[in-house]
Amino acid sequence: MDLRDVMAGVGSADFGDEAVARSRARVLAGIGGALESAASGSVASGVVASRPAAAGVAGTIRGPGDVRRRRRWSGGALAAVAAVIVVSFVAVGAMVTAQWLAKAPTAGEPTGLDLSAPLLAQLEPGEYLRIATDWERSRTGTFIGEDEYAVADAYLRVREVESWYVPADDGEWTLGLPEYRSELVSAHGPDADALVELQGWLQPPDIRRVAAAGITRGGDAGLVVSRAWLDALPDDAHGMIRAFADRYDMAAGADETVVRLMLVDPTLLLLDRAQRATLLGALSDMPAFEVVGADGTVTVTAGDPGAAGDGDPAVPTTVVFRGPALLPLSGEVDRSWYQDTGSPPVPADTWTVDLSIVSSVPGAPPAPQPADPGVEPDDPEAGIGPDGYWCSHRHIPLRVLDDVQYAEDLDAAGNAALREAGVWPTIEAMPEAWIVVSFTDRELVLFTDRLTMQPGGWLLEGAPPDHQVTQLYREGAAWAVMQESLCALQHDLGELDLADVELDPAHPPRAGDEEIHFLVTERACNSGQPATGRVELESGFYDGVVLEVTIGVRPTGEPADCPGNPPTPFVFELKSPWVEGTVVRDATYVDPRELPMP
């Protein structure tokens, strides 16, 4: 039995001839009234006397033409596109690409800054130094069908603006990686159309906030530096290189690789001129680098892969230091040697830097802090204990799932935000699968377990993603996508921070063991110190078949730098002896993840 059968007996469809005739008369009278009003220049109410005016309602009516249609993809003979070169790409479905691109500024002359003086010293409280690196990159890709594999005979030129907003003090940095949705500049080669259509090149805006000094989470710690770190930076070249190596968490003896990273690191702009000059002087003595000064510029060229060594992933890199302060303001990176596209030669990625002083930063999700698990301040359950989940630095309060609001439940304002930000086609495909995490006049956050993005290479190295979070942010009058991320959903451990857990390779489990040895790496910043004494077992379960552990780290609450932390040993005591073949799982993941046996 269908709903229509059931509902056929409900109510009375009582609208007979007389009712039709009376309504018709009113409508015709109203049409006449409207015409008369229009003719006299007034607003037509179009409503007959004694009837309630409908003008207010009419103003909100949307015609069918306002309904945006979901775009259909033409897959062709190729079933999928593989992740392409350099960055982790995402498939954003039918996302509209133009909505944010128009807002990406064009780099111009630096404003509000004296480029001959130290940059940070020119900031007033509340101001930020905006370092915007305007990249034009070459992108290509690989098509993978069921029985075929083909390198795209094409490349795209894609513009991406990567911005750092450096605060006047040791407050939070805001990073736009990229700040705007990537912009297609041009397409080249026979497969160019297919490459464009598959949109693997398209990067959504990714705005992050990272504390330069203090507790933070995530993998952004290596991107920012504290004032103390800058102040303590040695004046000699070797000391500087070692300091950057520590920041990059790289081993000693990799000076050449460290310098290659330094050359494209905006942090170089924050050093004193004398430090940059010292560094350039040292590079002149390193065989891998060629330093040429001319016309007020110093050009550093890092050699090709052959010169750098066998198998070295280094690529030819050129950086131009300009002006009296020797600021690295432009350059290029030639990745053509491993971007095999067939006929069209792939040009180098080029970049220029735009510097300015600004007083505001783009919107971003709040940096998760141990003291702020993400619940509302007036939430009576705040601080009681675990109450939700984490997905890509975004807290998902449990109450969001207790009283679910789906995307399809959003009001007109919410729908307008989705449309304006260009995510409507994605959401429209399955509005019942997107859960609203928060919706204010500035921010709309949704998450889902139906993935529409493809994980990039780096993600594949970790826990496979099972959820996706999207954050929209309203900057002025315009809504835009601020974050689209995949995650492996993890439990919120309340007062404990999440950590990376592995079995200790030095103590692999053996039959009969009564202790299992783990290595626990604190994700939060702790100045590179171990979490000794702060690793805690939230829960553990062992039955001779499976061992599931939920392990977290109690934060210090002290300010800390973020060079990366060493693993900390942790021993789990079994109540019965270890059985060979037992599976070990990290139960901080909602879908517990099996830990590889050492």
Partner 1 sequence: MTTDSEIIQRSLEVPAAFAELFDRHARVVGAFVSRRVGADVAEDIVSETFLAAFRRRGDFEFARESAKPWLFGIAVRLMRNHRAREAAHWRSLVSATGAADVDHDGEIGAAGERMDAAAALRRLGPALAALPARDRETLQLYAWSGMTYEELAVVLDVPVGTVRSRLNRVRRKLGEAMPVLESEEGVRGGSA
**Footprint on this chain of partner 1 (rule: CB under 8 A):** 1-15, 19-20, 22-24, 26-28, 30-31, 34-35, 44, 46-48, 51-52, 54-55, 57-58, 60-67, 70, 408-409, 415, 427-432
Which residue, chain included where needed, has tokens 């702790």? 526
Q: Which is nearer to partner 1, 9 or 108 (CB)?
A: 9
Residue 364 CB partners (closer than 8 Å, separation 6+): 174, 207, 208, 209, 473, 482, 483
Helix (H) or strand (E) holding 520: strand 515-522
Least CB distance to partner 1 at residue 20 (A) = 5
Nearer to partner 1 by C-beta: 51 or 442?
Answer: 51
Least distance between partner 1 and beta carbon 433 (Å): 9
Query: What are the structure tokens assigned to 84, written together?
Result: 């392409």
User: Please, what is the minimum distance in Å from the beta carbon of residue 258 to partner 1?
Assistant: 51
**Nearest-approach distance from CB 261 to partner 1, in angstroms:** 45
Tell me which residue of 481, 426, 463 sits closest to 448, measured CA to CA.
Answer: 426
Q: How far is the CB of 94 from partner 1 (least distance, A)?
A: 12
Measured over the CA atoms of residue 354, residue 360, residue 366 and residue 371, the dihedral's sign is positive
**For residue 415, how many C-alpha atoms fall within 13 Å in the half-sphere facing its CB?**
10
Closest to partner 1 by CB, 44 vs 151, is 44
User: Distances in Å between the alpha carbon of 293 and those of 326, 551, 581?
Assistant: 11, 55, 64
**DSSP structure string for 322-382:** ETTTTEEEEEEE--GGG---SSSPPPPEEEEEEEEEES-----PPPPBTTB-S--TT-TTT
- Concatenating the DSSP letter of every residue in 432-475 gives GGPEEEEE-SSEEEEEESS--SPP-HHHHHSSPP-EEEEEEEEE
Task: Please give the single-letter amino acid code of residue 321.
Answer: F
Rounded Cα gap, residues 278 and 272, in angstroms = 10
Closest distance between partner 1 and the C-beta of residue 112, in Å? Answer: 46
CB of 424 to partner 1, least distance (A): 8
If the CB atoms of residues 19 and 511 are measured against partner 1, the closer one turns out to be 19
- Smallest distance from partner 1 to CB 44, Å: 6
Q: How far is the CB of 436 from partner 1 (least distance, A)?
A: 14
DSSP state of 155: E
Shortest spacing between CB 3 and partner 1, in angstroms: 5
Nearer to partner 1, 55 or 511 (CB): 55
If the CB atoms of residues 9 and 476 are measured against partner 1, the closer one turns out to be 9
Q: Residue 35 or residue 232: which is nearer to partner 1 going by CB?
A: 35
Q: Which two tokens mark 333?
A: 């990176």
Of 419 and 593, nearer to partner 1 (C-beta) is 419
Nearest to 540 by CA among 531, 524, 551: 551
d(CA 260, CA 251): 15
Helices in 64-203 by DSSP H: which ranges?
Answer: 98-101, 192-198
Q: Select 19 or 252, whichever has its Cβ closest to partner 1.
A: 19
Closer CB to partner 1, residue 35 or residue 79? Answer: 35
